[in-house]
Chain A
Amino acid sequence: MAEHGAPGRVSFGLGDAIRLGYDYIKKRRDRALINIASVALGIAFLATLLLTDSFYRAFVVAGGAHLSIESYQYWLMFVALIVSVVGITNAVLIAVYERYREIGTLKCIGAMDRHILLLFLVESLIQGGIGGVLGFVLGVIGALISTGATTGFDIIFKVPVTELAVLFLGSTLLSILLSVIATIYPARHAAKLNPVEALSYEL
């Protein structure tokens, strides 16, 4: 045997986690879609409000009447984001139960707790990114629908491009952040699984 004697180290880097995580997202598409939809809807709400505000300001600059968003709408947005996070946590917890045996198997072939954690977090990061982009697109549509009749649908071209870019990047990053936060609890649960219990688990 080549490695007779002192034990070495196992390895599972970010690239490996991305490759395996991508396979899980691709092959378990329905599970991934629930998470993506959950975060995308929350972000869509956020983007709708923020873009509406931008459109209103651009409308004033263009010589239109002064319009503003009611403060309760921001509260609704806040609640929507929390609901998204809870929904993702729930969906990932179910995914962890579905993958009990696989987690046990991964531990048998050399995975450590932190590798399992990394795998779940990478999956949620990818889903959060996709959900963020999708949510922003939905937000643009939502904001145009809510303001278009008053301000005209070409209002989007009157908003500075940098402002749109900041909103896009901000909502995508927030989406990733929320998705990862929502996954921490179930991912830690998965990572700490005892391989013996995980392997004998019957769904």
Chain B
Amino acid sequence: MSFDTIIQLEDLARHYEMGGVQIKALDGVDIEINRGEYISIVGPSGSGKTTLFNLVGGLDRPTRGKVYIDGVDISQLDAYELAWLRCRKIGYIFQTFNLIPVLTALENVSLPTVFAGVPRDEGLEKAEKLLTSVGLGERVHHRPTELSAGQQQRVAIARAMANDPAIILADEPTGNLDLNTGMEIIDLLHGLNRTRGMTLIAATHDLKMITASDRVVWMRDGAIEKIERG
């Protein structure tokens, strides 16, 4: 494994039992992803994109194979270390934004810093800076219901960045947005990838998103079909 490899997947598989039938959601994926790389994952629904995300993000355990993040096999981590990985190393962005509705934008963005043990004032200050950097400096005290879909996704991006993660996992980040708003979100993510050197892995159908990426991973039936340069 070279020094620059941040994620390595080895024969990664995840099978489910459903009504007595075995479903191979993911079946033998091998890939190395470099630090700072921007990867698009493309494939029809049911091709294993979300399963792959859940395994890389430490949210699910594989049936077979290994996920290495910074050379560490994450299946060896205990509950504390796994929580730490999710908190500090990985930022998640979802199609449905998944903001906490009872909290303001500022509180949503500062929440990961609470789990990271950052002092409250420092966390809030950082959250305000991040919200300003995603163009929501004037809306820090709004609640998710008072924001447009695009603004909510910006808050979610700021939240994903709160602990300066090395990896951003974005599952269909533009899936619930109109064309223009989606473009703005793509530009924002791409910019963060370039300026902050974060590794960005995005599942997408969005052609604009694919053309901006360094590599495109095409998935089908739980396996990698082909990998193209972006």
Binding site for B on A (CB under 8 A): 1-5, 7-12, 16, 20, 23-24, 26-28, 101-102, 104-113, 115, 194-196, 199
Give bound CA distance, A112 to B81, whole Å.
10
Stretch at the interface among B100-108, B125-133, B186-194, B207-215: B100-108
Report Cα–Cα, A7/B77, bound state, in Å: 9
Q: 1/0 contact trace for B167-195 toward A, CB 8 Å?
A: 00000000000000000000000000000
CA distance A105 to B195 in the complex (A): 26
B112 CB-CB contact with A under 8 Å: yes
A74 to B: closest C-beta gap in Å: 40
B92 within 8 A of A: yes
- Find out whether the CB atom of A110 lies under 8 angstroms from the CB atom of B103: no
Closest chain B residue to A8, Cβ basis: B84
In the bound complex, CA of A50 to CA of B121 (Å): 47
Residues of A within 8 A of B59 (CB): 107-108, 195-196, 199
Task: Tell whether, in the assembled complex, residue A111 and residue B102 are in contact, meaning their CB atoms are under 8 Å apart.
Answer: no
With a cutoff of 8 Å between Cβ atoms, the chain A residues found around residue B94 in the complex are: 105, 199
A112 and B80: CB pair below 8 A? yes
Q: A196 vs B54: C-alpha distance in the bound complex, in angstroms?
A: 7
Query: Which residues of chain B have C-beta atoms less than 8 A from A112's C-beta?
Result: 79-80, 83
Most chain A CB within a 10 A radius of its CB, from B86, B115, B162, B166: B115
Inter-chain contact A105/B80, CB cutoff 8 Å: no
Query: Per-residue CB proximity of B79-93 to A under 8 Å, as 1/0?
Result: 111011111110010
- Closest CB of chain B to A28's CB: distance in Å? 6
Q: Do A111 and B83 touch (CB < 8 A)?
A: yes
Closest residue on chain B to residue A16 by CB atoms: B114
6 tightest Cβ-Cβ pairs between the two chains A and B? A110-B87, A110-B115, A27-B102, A11-B117, A7-B81, A109-B112
Contact A10 B116 (CB under 8 A): yes
